Amino acid sequence: MKKSFISILLLFGVYKVFAQDGAFTIDDAMFTIHNTWMLVATFLVFIMHLGFATLESGLTRAKNTVNILFKNTLIVAIGLLTFAIIGFNMMYPGESWVIGKFFGISGLGIGTDSAGLTRAYNPSYTYWTEFLFQGMFAATAATIVSGAVAERVKLHSFLIFSAIYVALVYPLVGSWGWGGGWLAGLNFHDFAGSTFVHSVGGWAALAGVIVLGPRLGKYVNGSIKPIMGHNLPLAAIGVFLLWLGWFGFNGGSVLSADPGAVSYVFVTTTLAAATGIITSMITSWMVQKKPDLSMVLNGCLAGLVGITAGADVVSVSSAVIIGGLAGVLVVFSVLLVDKLRLDDPVGAVSVHLVCGIWGTLAVGIFADGYSILSQLTGVLAAGATCFGFGFTIFYILKRTIGIRVSEHEELRGLDIGEHGMEAYHGFQIFVTQ
């Protein structure tokens, strides 16, 4: 009864604001409600960038904090601007396909009528809302790469990579599914981006780690030397911000304010994250003989990444299984990546790539009406494209302007070497030799 009364008040409030000359309708009210929810979801996804910044900062050393915060700030700007210039029209080309359903572009720049309705891809909200919501997703792909190459990548090289990758590769692959491309024709399902966002970033992260090489002192005389993060409270804050933002990431991907669909996605998303925490704790405790906080934090993210592809179509019990297995996978993946001498300071490859692949395949296993063969096809196509482009871009940058800072700069810290400032002035001790 209380909920019904609140709903009536909300609709009445919208009516009072927008009614003009008796022309106002319930459809107008619902349009406003849908549009408002999508903007709220956009704000939540925006907060995720702060979560990435604090998580990455906390899991790395104090002497590189300014550099990491700088990168994460610039990535948002680069992502939004490149998406406005070309990415949005590549990802959603409409009927403007150039090469089959593999590549299309409907022009450059963004624009519509004053009401934001012309060229709108979804009748439930405005064109401008669509752009902002999807633009926040675009920046996330490069943010994933930032953590994997942290503490030794040249700033200008990373920014160039981010601009190229987000402007061209991210929207190209996304158009195959979300833009109505060839994967959509195969009934490939990726609700909110286990593949189109997380694996796209994860494949590039893997390429960057390979081309860049490990941090100094990480692998010495055949042994693995742990390089501890400087601020686990900051990392924990980052994970909770990301978990909060995921309500917009997945909840907004319903693409309307449908109460049943949004609420259901909230439930599957949250339970997958919770189960990922529990299973990563148990797995790390059994394998490492101690409960590892960094593994548990990544377990939460693993559950979130894993459920993102199928949050709308799997059952609640399946969401628990998907999140739980993601929590187990991330622990073993982090350990395996380290044994392979692939230095990933924050576990980005394990969280976003490995669990992104798992979540995408899980749709074909647990959801009715979807084929694991179609899901696997999407995983392989995205992998070949993203890793191929990512590796090529990094390699060209390496052979031309270079992608790695000097040994002296790496030891001293990128905050001083790249920025000439400290995150913790007066408290930081630099290693100079």
DSSP state string for 165-183: IIIIIHHHHHHTTTTS-HH
Nearest to 141 by CA among 375, 359, 353, 391: 353
Is it the case that residue 126 has pLDDT exceeding 60?
yes
The one-letter amino acid at 112: T
Q: What is the pLDDT of residue 1?
A: 47
CATH of the domain at 303: 1.10.3430.10
**Domain range enclosing 204:** 28-419
The one-letter amino acid at 334: V
Q: Is the pTM of this model over 0.85?
A: yes
Whether 427 maps to a domain, the answer reads: no
Segment 16-38 mean pLDDT: 72
Is 238 within 8 Å of 58 (Cβ atoms)? yes
Domain count, the chain: 1
Segment 76-94 mean pLDDT: 95
Size of the chain, expressed as the number of residues it contains: 433
CA distance 375 to 322: 15
Is 129 within 8 Å of 39 (Cβ atoms)? yes
Task: Give the pLDDT confidence of 311-323 residue by residue, as tens digits.
Answer: 999 999 999 999 9
Q: Give the DSSP H or E segment for 306.
A: helix 293-308
Segment 181-207 mean pLDDT: 97
Q: What is the pLDDT of residue 124?
A: 86
Is it the case that residue 123 has pLDDT exceeding 90?
no
User: Which segments of 295-427 are extended strands (E)?
Assistant: none
Is it the case that residue 21 has pLDDT exceeding 80?
no
Whether 399 maps to a domain, the answer reads: yes
Whether 18 maps to a domain, the answer reads: no
CA distance 109 to 203: 28
Is it the case that residue 72 has pLDDT exceeding 60?
yes
- 18 CB burial (10 A radius; 0-12, 13-18, 19+): middle
The one-letter amino acid at 247: F
Model confidence at 114, pLDDT cuts 50, 70, 90, reads low
Whether 16 maps to a domain, the answer reads: no
The one-letter amino acid at 60: T
- Label residue 369 left, alpha or beta by phi (over 0 means left) and psi (-120 to 50 means alpha): left
Q: Please give the DSSP secondary-structure letter assigned to residue 226.
A: P
CA 367 to each of CA 147, 186, 316: distance values in angstroms, whole numbers, following the listed order: 32, 15, 11
CA distance 144 to 346: 10
Is 283 within 8 Å of 332 (Cβ atoms)? yes
Segment 275-284 mean pLDDT: 98
Whether 432 maps to a domain, the answer reads: no
Q: Where are the alpha helices (DSSP H) in 153-227?
A: 155-164, 170-175, 182-185, 200-212
Nearest to 188 by CA among 382, 385, 378: 378
- Which of 124-128, 241-245, 323-327, 360-364 bottoms out in mean pLDDT, i.e. has the lowest? 124-128
Is 230 within 8 Å of 422 (Cβ atoms)? no
Whether 23 maps to a domain, the answer reads: no
Whether 14 maps to a domain, the answer reads: no
Q: What is the pLDDT of residue 23?
A: 55
Segment 363-387 mean pLDDT: 97
Is 172 within 8 Å of 109 (Cβ atoms)? no
CA distance 173 to 182: 10
Is it the case that residue 401 has pLDDT exceeding 60?
yes
DSSP state string for 8-23: HHHHHHHHHHH--TT-
CA distance 264 to 286: 33
Q: Give the count of alpha carbons within 13 A of 69, CB side only.
A: 17
Which residue pairs, CB below 8 angstroms and at least 24 apart, start in 370-373? 370/187, 370/189, 370/313, 371/187
CA distance 265 to 262: 5
Whether 21 maps to a domain, the answer reads: no
CA 195 to each of CA 152, 355, 359, 430: distance values in angstroms, whole numbers, following the listed order: 27, 10, 8, 40
